[in-house]
Amino acid sequence: MRVHLKIWRQKNARTEGAFAEYDLDNVSHEMSFLEMLDVLNEQLISGGQEPVAFDSDCREGICGMCGVMINGEAHGPQRGTATCQLHMRKFSDGAHITVEPWRSRSFPVNKDLSVDRSALDRIIEAGGYITAPTGSAPEANLIPVPKEVSDAAFDAAACIGCGACVAACPNGAANLFTAAKIAHLNLLPQGQPERWSRVVRMVETMEDHFGSCTNYGECQAACPKEISIDYIAYMNRDFVKAQLKNRRLIAQRG
Amino acid sequence: MTSATSTPVRTRRNLPWPIAFYQTAVGKKWVMAVTGIILLGFVLVHMVGNLKMYLGETDLNKYGVALREIGGDLVPHTSILWAVRSLLILAFVLHIHAAATLTAMNRKARPVGYKGGRHYVAANYAARTMRMTGVIVLLYLLFHLMDLTWGNANPNFVHGEPYHNVVESFSRAPVAVVYIIANILLGIHIYHGAWSMFQSLGWNNPRINAARRWFATAFAALIVIGNVSMPIAVLAGVVS
C-alpha cells in the first residue's frame, strides 16, 4: 500500500517547526506504525536526508516510550493500544496521515516527534512511592488484600506513563496519569502511611506543570491501557478528604 | 544536546487551608460542583414556582408575595429572601471566578496547539461549549433581571404584578425567542454540569456512572421543557 505522510519536523525546543510531506510506497499492511516510520527513515537516510526522530523502545505496548498524534488522535484511531501496536491495516491505500508530537507546555519538543515528558517524573517524585524497608521481598500473603481492591489497583497500575492523556486533553491536563499513579498506591494497604500527603503533593505538582480537568473524557479514550476516569474521581475524593486529614495530623502533633 | 525540561508554571505560598484549597484546580472544581448544585437547586425551584403561571393570575401573584414573606412574622420582611439571594450571588460569583481562572490555567497549559487539527472522540458538544453556554446564560440572566425583576427592559412593567409582566414580556415575539434559545443553552450547560459535578466532587463510582448520565439528562430536559413551555404558552395564547 501507499501512504502520503505529513510529519512535524522541528530541530529542537527553541526552533520553530513545520510539517514536511513524504510519499511512501511499498508499505505492508502488516507493518506497525513505527515500522512504517522506520521504512521512511531508511528512505530518508539513503537519500542523504535527516531521519525523523521519534521515541520507541519495547514495541509491544508496555514501556510507554512511543506516542504521537496521528490524524489528530493520540496513538491513532485504534482504541486501547499504543502507537507501536497500531498497524497499517487500519489505514486505507493512499491514505493521508498527519503525524505530530504531543503538545503541552510541559512537553517541550526534543526533536521532530520526540518530546521531553520528564514533567511526569516530577509528579512521581512528589509521592509516587511507598516507604518500605530494603532487603529481601516480604512474604506477599502476609498482608491480605480483597480481590476487588487488588484488581482496581492493578488496573490503575497498568499506566505506562506515555503521556497520551495529556496529549489528548483539550486542557493539557495530566489528571488521568496522576490519578492512576495515586490510586494504585492509595488503594492498597502498603500505600496507606503516605496516602494523604501523597495525594496533596502529587496533585499540587501536577498543577504546577499541567492544565486542569473539565471531565471531557478524551484522556480515557486515548489511553492505551484504557484507564477509567473513575480514578480521577477517586483522586478528587482523596484530595478533598486530605484537606481535613492532614489538618488533623498537624493538630495531633501539637 | 541540551535538554529543555519543564519548569513549574507557578509557585506556591503558604495560605490558610480554605484559600490554599481554592487555589488548586481540584479545589476550584470542587467549588464549581458545590456552587453548581446550589444553582441547580435554584433553577429547579424557580422553574417549579413559575409554573404557577398556569394556575392563573391570582396564584402567580400570591406566589410572588409569598416569596417575600418567607419566615412570616418571625423574621424581618424579605430577610429570608435576601439571605437566599446572597447565597445565590455568592454561588454565581465563585462559579464564574473558578471557571475563568481555570480557563486561563488551561490556555497556558498548551501554548502551541495541534497544527494538524484535533479529532475529538469522547468530548461531547455540551462539554466543549461549557464556556460559551455559560457566558450566554450569564448575559441572559442579566437581561432576565432587567426584564422581570427591575423592569427597565420591559416598557409595560408594573411592580408587584408578575403575571401581567410575564404576559407583557413574552407577548413580544423576539423576547420570547431569546427566552427559548437561552433556556435551551442552559439545558445544554446542565447536561454536562450535572453529570460532571459527581466527578469533581469524587462522589462517583463505577456503579452509579449510568445513573449520573440519566440524572443529568433528565434534569436538563425537565428544566428546558418547563421553562420553554412558558413563552410558548404566552405566544400561543394559552396564557394571556
ipTM of the complex: 0.91
A171–B contact, CB cutoff 8 A: yes
Dist. CA A179–CA A181, nearest whole Å: 5
What is the average pLDDT across A148-166?
97
Of B219, B88, B106, B130, which Cα lies nearest the Cα of A172? Answer: B106
Question: Given A171, A208, A239, which is nearest B106 (Cβ)?
Answer: A171
- Of all residues in chain A, the percent with pLDDT exceeding 90 is 89
* Record: contact B102-A214, CB cut-off 8 A: yes
* Record: contact B29-A212, CB cut-off 8 A: yes
Question: Is it the case that residue A247 has pLDDT exceeding 80?
Answer: no
- Within 8 A of A243 by CB-CB distance, chain B residues are 17, 21, 27
Block residue for cell numbers 479529532: B119
What is the average pLDDT across B226-239?
95
Higher pLDDT residue, B17 or B220? B220
Question: Is it the case that residue A203 has pLDDT exceeding 60?
Answer: yes
- Three-state SS at A237: helix
Q: What spatial distance separates the first Cα and last Cα of chain B, rounded to whole Å?
A: 77
The tens digit of pLDDT for each residue in B89-129 reads 999 999 999 999 999 999 999 999 999 999 999 999 999 99
Dist. CA B231–CA B214, nearest whole Å: 27
B216 to chain A nearest CA, in Å? 14
Predicted pLDDT at B47:
97
Chain A: residue whose CA lies nearest to B19: A243
What is the average pLDDT across A26-38?
96
The tens digit of pLDDT for each residue in A112-154 reads 999 999 999 999 999 999 988 888 888 888 999 999 999 999 9
Predicted pLDDT at A132:
82
At what angle are helices A195-209 and A175-186 packed, to 10 degrees? 170
Predicted pLDDT at B206:
81
Alpha helix ranges (H) inside B11-170: 17-23, 25-50, 57-68, 79-109, 125-128, 130-148, 162-170
All CATH 1.10.1060.10 domain ranges in chain A, comma separated: 118-253
Question: Is it the case that residue B11 has pLDDT exceeding 80?
Answer: no
B20 to chain A nearest CA, in Å? 10
Q: How many residues appear in chain B? A: 240
Question: Is it the case that residue B8 has pLDDT exceeding 70?
Answer: no
Question: Given B12, B30, B117, which is nearest A236 (Cβ)?
Answer: B30
Predicted pLDDT at B9:
55
Question: Is it the case that residue A238 has pLDDT exceeding 90?
Answer: yes
B108–A contact, CB cutoff 8 A: yes
Which CATH topology does A118-253 take? Fumarate Reductase Iron-sulfur Protein; Chain B, domain 2 (1.10.1060)
User: How high is the mean pLDDT of chain A?
Assistant: 94
Question: Is it the case that residue A254 has pLDDT exceeding 60?
Answer: no
* Record: contact B192-A215, CB cut-off 8 A: yes
Mutation target vs B (from A175, A204, A207; most B CBs, 10 A cutoff): A207
Q: What are phi and psi of A18, to 5 degrees?
A: -160, 160
What is the average pLDDT across A185-207?
94
Chain B: residue whose CA lies nearest to A97: B116
What is the average pLDDT across B222-239?
96
Class of domain A3-111: alpha beta
DSSP letter at B68 equals: H
Q: What are phi and psi of A211, to 5 degrees?
A: -80, -170
Q: How many residues appear in chain A? A: 254
What is the average pLDDT across A38-67?
97
C-alpha cell at B23: 487555589
Mutation target vs B (from A123, A186, A196, A212; most B CBs, 10 A cutoff): A212
Dist. CA A129–CA A127, nearest whole Å: 6
Chain B: residue whose CA lies nearest to A18: B115
A237 to chain B nearest CA, in Å? 4
Chain B: residue whose CA lies nearest to A206: B8
Predicted pLDDT at B1:
36
Question: What confidence tier does B7 reach under pLDDT thresholds 50, 70, 90?
Answer: low
Residue B203: is it exposed, middle or buried by C-beta count within 10 angstroms (0-12/13-18/19+)? middle
Predicted pLDDT at B3:
44
The tens digit of pLDDT for each residue in B133-165 reads 999 999 999 999 999 999 999 999 999 999 999
CA angle B10, B11, B15 (to 5 degrees): 125
Question: What confidence tier does A90 reach under pLDDT thresholds 50, 70, 90?
Answer: very high
Predicted pLDDT at A53:
98
Question: What confidence tier does A77 reach under pLDDT thresholds 50, 70, 90?
Answer: very high
What is the average pLDDT across B31-37?
98
All CATH 3.10.20.30 domain ranges in chain A, comma separated: 3-111
Class of domain B24-110+123-235: mainly alpha
Question: What confidence tier does A250 reach under pLDDT thresholds 50, 70, 90?
Answer: low
Question: Given A105, A122, A229, which is nearest B199 (Cβ)?
Answer: A229
Alpha helix ranges (H) inside B113-208: 125-128, 130-148, 162-170, 173-201
